C-alpha cells in the first residue's frame, strides 16, 4: 500500500474517484523517480495492470496535473514529460545535444520583488525556469 493519502484526499475533494489506475500511476512515479513521458508511464503501468489503456494514462496525467499532484514539463521535444510533485521545488537544465535534463535547486522566482509582479496584473499561480546548454558529453 502506497501513500495513497494525498491522492485520495485531492480526488475526493472534487468528486473524483480513486481508481486502481490512478493509484497505479502514482505508484509508478514513486517507484521511478524523475521525469517521464506518457509513453514511459504507460509501459511501466502496463507491467502491473495489463489491461490499462493509453487514453487512461493521458486523461489521468492531465487530471493529476490539474490537481497539482504531478507536474507537466515541456522539455520542448514535442513530447510532454511529467514528474511527481512534492519533492522540493526545483527547475531544470537541459542539454540541447542529448536531451539530458538535470534538476537545479536554484529558483529565481523567490528573489522577485512583489511590486514588479503586481504590476503585471496577473494572479500568479506558478512559474518555470529552464536553462539550456550542452552537457560535458555533448560539447559541440
Partner DNA sequence: CTCCTTTTTGCAAATCATTTGCATTTACAT
Partner DNA sequence: ATGTAAATGCAAATGATTTGCAAAAAGGAG
In the list Mn ion, Zn ion, a copy of itself, none, the entry touching 74 (Cβ below 5 to 8 angstroms by class) is a copy of itself
Residues in 72-111 at the binding interface with Zn ion, rule: CB under 5 A: 107, 109
Identified binder of a copy of itself from the candidate list 2, 12, 72, 89, rule CB under 8 A:
72
Closest approach of Cβ 107 to Zn ion, in Å? 3
Q: What is the DSSP letter of 48?
A: H
Closest approach of Cβ 63 to DNA, in Å? 7
Q: What cell does 106 get?
A: 536554484
Instruction: Point out which residues pair with 95 in neighbouring strands.
Output: 133
Nearest CA-CA partner of 71 in 12, 116, 26: 26
Q: What cell does 108 get?
A: 529565481
The answer to whether residue 39 forms part of the interface with a copy of itself (CB under 8 A) is no
**Which residues contribute to the site for Zn ion (CB under 5 A)?**
107, 109
Amino acid at each position: 500500500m502506497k501513500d495513497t493519502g494525498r491522492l485520495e484526499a485531492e480526488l475526493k475533494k472534487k468528486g473524483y474517484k480513486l481508481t486502481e489506475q490512478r493509484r497505479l500511476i502514482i505508484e509508478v512515479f514513486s517507484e521511478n523517480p524523475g521525469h517521464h513521458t506518457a509513453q514511459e508511464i504507460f509501459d511501466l503501468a502496463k507491467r502491473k495492470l495489463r489491461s490499462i489503456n493509453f487514453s487512461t494514462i493521458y486523461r489521468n496525467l492531465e487530471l493529476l496535473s490539474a490537481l497539482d499532484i504531478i507536474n507537466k514539463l515541456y522539455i520542448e521535444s514535442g513530447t510532454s514529460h511529467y514528474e511527481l510533485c512534492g519533492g522540493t521545488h526545483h527547475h531544470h537544465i537541459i542539454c540541447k545535444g542529448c536531451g539530458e535534463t538535470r534538476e537545479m535547486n536554484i529558483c529565481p522566482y523567490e528573489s522577485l520583488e512583489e511590486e514588479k509582479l503586481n504590476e503585471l496584473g496577473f494572479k500568479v499561480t506558478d512559474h518555470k525556469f529552464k536553462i539550456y546548454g550542452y552537457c560535458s558529453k555533448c560539447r559541440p
